[in-house]
Amino acid sequence: MVYNDLNRGIHIVTYNGNSHTGGSVPVDSTAYTSWASVTICANIGNLVRTGYTFKGWATTSGATTPNFVVNGNTVTPAAFPINGNVTLYAVWEANPQHVTYTVTYNGNGNTSGNAPVDNNSPYNDGSTITVLGQGTLVRTGYTFLGWASSSSATSPNIGTPFVINSNITLYAVWEALPVTYTVTYNGNGSTSGTAPIDNNSPYNDGSTVTVMGQGNLVRGNHTFKGWATGPSATTAQYEANDTFDINSNTVLYAVWSKNSGIGAPVIWILAAIGVLLVVGIVGFVFIGGKKTR
């Protein structure tokens, strides 16, 4: 190493923090004669430099490897023979940069609830991430399938766990629920009984519906003819066990036909006429008999 001898025979040692951000450099006030042994100071002033680790001392400011390695209170080598003025510069080693990445969840069209928040984010590069669940997210008419790295994905593509190596947004993947329609039966003027209930309702769009029968529905002085989609229909569109493909909510109304038999008042009138005829015939025979006598 080269030492600067400005005052021949008497030499000094100066310490330089070399861009330190805190602490103080050691001060050596000894005047050394040529070839005297200089004991190197450790980092006794607690020098620091933000983002760096102190490694020791070197005789040049740009050194990346110290001539005198400092480990706690130990310096290696511990001393050197001086033959000129010496400045010892702190050697700093940059701390490893901890690259971190974020994990963000996106509801991707949710109609209520909130996307989960990963409280462990950000993560160090290469960390293993456990994917969160649906939480309170809801999208009307859809089922939650999982998470994907694209907002347009139709199936989840992020498994759990996964290793992170970049910032990532996880989008909710939704699948539309099947469109369904109901079938309802209406007694449409029935006087007793209950309209049938289709336990298979609701049906998926396009499903085949088998029409139910009359059940115990009754309407006084009427005969059940079948079912129609309007309450004023006089002709049935469907009878029991007919089928149709459903594409809307459907109400089936009972179709009734009024009975056409002779009513009670007419029968009473005819009965009265019959009695009079019988009475008349009997009287005629009796009177006639009397006259013949």
Gap between the Cα atoms of 203 and 183, Å rounded? 8
Whole-number pLDDT of residue 286 = 34
Among the listed residues 97, 87, 95, 96, the one whose alpha carbon sits nearest the alpha carbon of residue 18 = 87
CA 176 to each of CA 88, 95, 247, 248, 276: distance values in angstroms, whole numbers, following the listed order: 72, 51, 17, 18, 80
Instruction: Give the integer Cα–Cα distance in Å for 59 and 1.
Output: 8
Provide the pairing of β-strand 86-94 with 13-16. Answer: parallel
Q: Point out the least confidently predicted range of 103-112, 228-237, 265-274.
A: 265-274
Range from 25-29, 54-58, 287-291 carrying the lowest mean pLDDT: 287-291
Tell me the average pLDDT of the chain: 89
Q: Could you tell me whether strands 103-106 and 168-176 are parallel, antiparallel, or unpaired per DSSP bridges?
A: parallel
Q: Name the residue type at position 51.
A: G
Give the three-state DSSP class for 124. strand
pLDDT computed for residue 292 by the predictor: 38
Instruction: Quote the pLDDT of residue 262.
Output: 53
What is the Cα–Cα distance from 56 to 70, expressed in whole angstroms? Answer: 4
Q: Which domains does the chain have, with CATH numbers?
A: 10-94 (2.60.40), 100-176 (2.60.40), 181-258 (2.60.40)
Q: Name the band, by pLDDT with cuts 50, 70 and 90, for residue 159.
A: confident
pLDDT at 14: 98
> Tokens representing 290?
């009397």
pLDDT, one tens digit per residue, over 171-203 is 999 999 999 999 999 999 999 999 999 999 999
Residue 4 has pLDDT above 70, yes or no: no
Range in 64-68, 214-218, 276-280 the model is least confident about: 276-280
Q: Using CA of residue 135, residue 136, residue 139, residue 141, what is the dihedral sign?
A: positive
Who's near 75: CB < 8 A, 6+ residues apart? 40, 41, 42, 56, 57, 68, 69
Q: What is the mean pLDDT of residues 265-278?
A: 43
**Looking at residues 215-233, what average pLDDT do you find?**
97
